[in-house]
Amino acid sequence: MHLSENEGIEGQTFVVAGGLGFVGSSLCLELLRRGAHQVRTFDLCTTSPCSHHLLNKGVHCIPGISLSLSLCQILIMIGDVTRKQDVQKALHGADCVFHRASYGMSGKEMLQFGRVDDVNINGTCHVLEACVEHGVKRLVYVSTYNVVFGGKEIINGNETLPYFPLDDYVDPYSRSKCIAEQLVLKSNGRPLKKKNGNLYTCAIRPAAIYGPVSPVNSFEFLRPLLQSLEYDLPKRSLAVSHALVLGRIFQLVYTILYPWLNRWWLPQPLMLPTEVHEVGVTHYFSFLKAKEELGYVPMVSPQEGMAATISYFQERKMRSLDGPTIYTWMFSVIGMTLLFIAAYWPAFGPVSLLRDFCLFFFRSMWVMRMVFILATAAHIGEAMYAWHLAKKVDPLNARGWFWQTLALGVLSLRFLLKRARK
């Protein structure tokens, strides 16, 4: 079956839950281009790295969702899918909903079990109830391939694969998305309350897939992107079994740190078991059903997509500061702080142990204090040089280069020097 480009879109009102991300903002603009009467992006955030796509099109941001919904073609509506009243107001008068609001896909978010279930399961229930209550006839749920993938190899998978057992998921995100998807699909055909007809639902399962035909080795696919950005390619490999052990260690440590997971100063874990499976275990899927039933045809070739991606990231890199990892920051800042404490604080409690440890390397208090003074002076001198150089090669970020180099010294300056050589 082949559908026209605007079929089912012209004159309709759409809600995109979780619409300020890259996919959501692109979807909003595409719906509008194809003749939608109104598109509402419903999101918890007021801004995002992709929201400028909408704002550049003259989109209005409504701080509350109690205002008139007929003010413009695209509305950025601030609300939370976990609050039933927010969802009810956002979906009032809509014809179709794209539900892609979710939480906990990776990093620290993945370990916040309660929040993950609240957003992904309870939030989906609120969307379903609002659809039935307000007569929304179409719901497209953006799920994930993780509902059928749990670390075991999948070759050319399709829609007939069974769900992964709920008790066997290694992360709450995949489990919650599996439950939510089944709730959505079981609601297909549910009678509407205020209108004649039924609610029709479907689910799609996006994955890290690129290209129209053959499976892609992620590492080889990313090689030209990394090389274009002058990042070093990995020189060593790590077996999946060893990476899983490392991932479980990080999972244990960050579970202990649960009360502080939302704090900005706590870096993202290096890896978690689910991320090891996604990177280290072969899994790819067929889009044959979409091609046969919806007439899906890839619009961008892999070569065109990679060229556009390289251009985007090169431009983005030039607009921002280059710098080392968070672990380098911790090493430099914590190291200088500990050296200052050992050199100048009174010797009591743990300071005595720290001072004895430092004296083992520096041999005397005088040497220790001179090292700290010289290191501080070097950082100040390097920061002033960085500010002067950045004024010539990267004036928009000159202040940022100054402060970063003041904290990190040569560990930051080397990135600015590399940029200057270009």
Dihedral angle at the C-alpha atoms of 179, 106, 201, 187, nearest 10 degrees? 20
> Which residues lie below 8 Å from residue 308, measured CB to CB, with a gap of 6+?
300
Burial degree of 382 (CB within 10 A; 0-12, 13-18, 19+): buried
Task: Give dist(CA 288, CA 276) in Å, integer.
Answer: 28
CATH fold for domain 13-208: Rossmann fold (3.40.50)
User: What confidence category does residue 134 fall into, taking pLDDT thresholds of 50, 70 and 90?
Assistant: very high
Tokens coding 18: 């979780």
The mean of the pLDDT values for the chain is: 86
Q: Above pLDDT 90, what percent of the chain?
A: 53
> Which residues lie below 8 Å from residue 217, measured CB to CB, with a gap of 6+?
none
Positions annotated as catalytic residues are 173
Among 188-192, 312-316, 324-328, 409-413, where is mean pLDDT lowest?
Answer: 312-316
- Reduced to 3 states (helix: H, G, I; strand: E, B; else coil), residue 333 is helix
Contact in structure between 262 and 116 (CB atoms under 8 Å): no
Task: Give dist(CA 369, CA 77) in Å, integer.
Answer: 57
For residue 400, give the nearest of 410, 412, 392 by alpha carbon.
412
Is the model's pLDDT at 324 over the cut of 80?
A: yes
Contact in structure between 111 and 256 (CB atoms under 8 Å): no
Q: Dihedral sign for Cα 209, 212, 216, 222, please.
A: negative
User: What confidence category does residue 65 fall into, taking pLDDT thresholds of 50, 70 and 90?
Assistant: very low
User: What confidence category does residue 251 fall into, taking pLDDT thresholds of 50, 70 and 90?
Assistant: very high
Q: What is the pLDDT of residues 292-301, one digit of tens each?
A: 988 888 787 7
Is the model's pLDDT at 369 over the cut of 70?
A: yes
Tokens coding 209: 């897939």
Between 365-393 and 398-408, two packed helices, what is the crossing angle to 10 degrees? Answer: 160
Domain ranges of the chain: 13-208, 326-421
Q: Taking CA 209 as the corner, what is the angle to CA 280 and CA 6, rounded to the nearest 5 degrees?
A: 160
> Which residues lie below 8 Å from residue 315, measured CB to CB, with a gap of 6+?
none
Give the global pTM: 0.75
- DSSP secondary structure letter of residue 11: T
